[in-house]
Amino acid sequence: MRYNTQMIQNKTYTIPGAKGRLMLADLTYNDVNPNAPLIIFVHGFKGFKDWGTHHLVASYFAENGYRVLKFNFSHNGTTPDAPLEFGDLIAFSENTFSIELEDLNYVIDFVAGGSAISIADSVILLGHSMGGGISIIKAAEDDRVSHLITMASVANFRNLWPKQLEAQWKLTGTFYFPNSRTGQQMPVKATLLDDLDKNAARLNILAQAASVKQPWLITHGTADNTVAISHAHDLKRMQPHAELLILPNADHAFNAYHPYFKDTLPTALHELCKKSVTFLKANDQNKG
């Protein structure tokens, strides 16, 4: 599917985040419907707002009656001046899940508090991978979230690495995650583990999933080698009212990649977007 981009507009914002760090964000919208319901896209680990097909996903939703705000977490390793590169590995090393929840709260405050973006009384969260876990927790604790869509979400943050690594990680103080795309060794301090230990209840994704009251669409691909499809089934088990969409032969990015130069979405990702719009339209009456 090709997109009519003539009516699609983009605005860029800089939002204060955790520890005073700035977060670069952009809003995609159709200028015939500038006050459409607002989706906030929440990227995953080693992700960023301009990765791969994210702009095409935003355009798809804008063509179908929504605004999309994409943003970079304050400690995701990019900077407002260089949003496509992991040039700040010091910030990346200091990231925690609590910091990301704080960032997301700042973003929701920004859009729901009468800022430069037209006032949005409520927001839809669209979270991928680790960002899916963050979105689940935020939806469970913030009634400004009207709908939740998760893409290949983790059901347990500690499943992002082998459990046996934690002892060495705590001993050395830093663990390095390889980035196969850039060739970088990306450091994460053991403060991430400390955060999980100190905030175990809040950061328990499965427990939080049971508390999600908003309409929720869980999506996952059968060929996901990064986050096993069992995570989707675990989330569905904890929240039976959620809808589950399994996409055959879709990988962790729903067959997208970076850089992505095509002007059409991969088939699996297009199907995810199409089903997401159907889900949102069907649950319009549940908006606050």
Per-residue pLDDT tens over the stretch 5-33: 568 999 999 999 999 999 999 999 999 98
Residue 269: its pLDDT value, please?
Answer: 98
Closest CA to 60 of 256, 263, 251, 257: 263
Tell me the C-alpha distance between 31 and 52, whole Å.
24
What mean pLDDT value characterizes the chain? 95
pLDDT at 6 (0 to 100): 60
**Nearest CA to 111 among 210, 34, 215, 15?**
15
pLDDT (average), residues 138-155: 98
Two tokens at 29? Answer: 């919208």
Bridge partners for 22 per DSSP = 16
* Percent of the chain scoring above 70 in pLDDT: 95
Q: Is the model's pLDDT at 116 over the cut of 80? A: no
Nearest residue to 74 (alpha-carbon basis) of 101, 54, 114: 101
Protein fold of 5-162+201-286: Rossmann fold (3.40.50)
For residues 88 and 40, give the distance between their C-alpha atoms in angstroms, rounded to a whole number.
24
Per-residue pLDDT, 1: 44
**Secondary structure of 185-238 in the HEC alphabet?**
EEEEECHHHHHHHHCCCCCCHHHHHCCCCCCEEEEEECCCCCCCCHHHHHHHHH
The pLDDT tens digits of the residues spanning 197-239 come to 999 999 999 999 999 999 999 999 999 999 999 999 999 999 9
pLDDT of residue 168: 96
Beta-bridge mates of residue 105: none
In this prediction, what percent of the chain has a pLDDT beyond 90?
Answer: 89
What pLDDT digit, counting tens, does each position of 41-90 carry? Answer: 999 999 999 999 999 999 999 999 999 999 999 999 999 999 999 999 99
Query: What pLDDT sits at residue 160?
Result: 85
Please state the domain extents for the chain: 5-162+201-286
The C-alpha atoms of residue 30 and residue 63 are separated, in whole angstroms, by 6
Spatial contact of 139 and 148, defined as CB atoms under 8 Å apart: yes
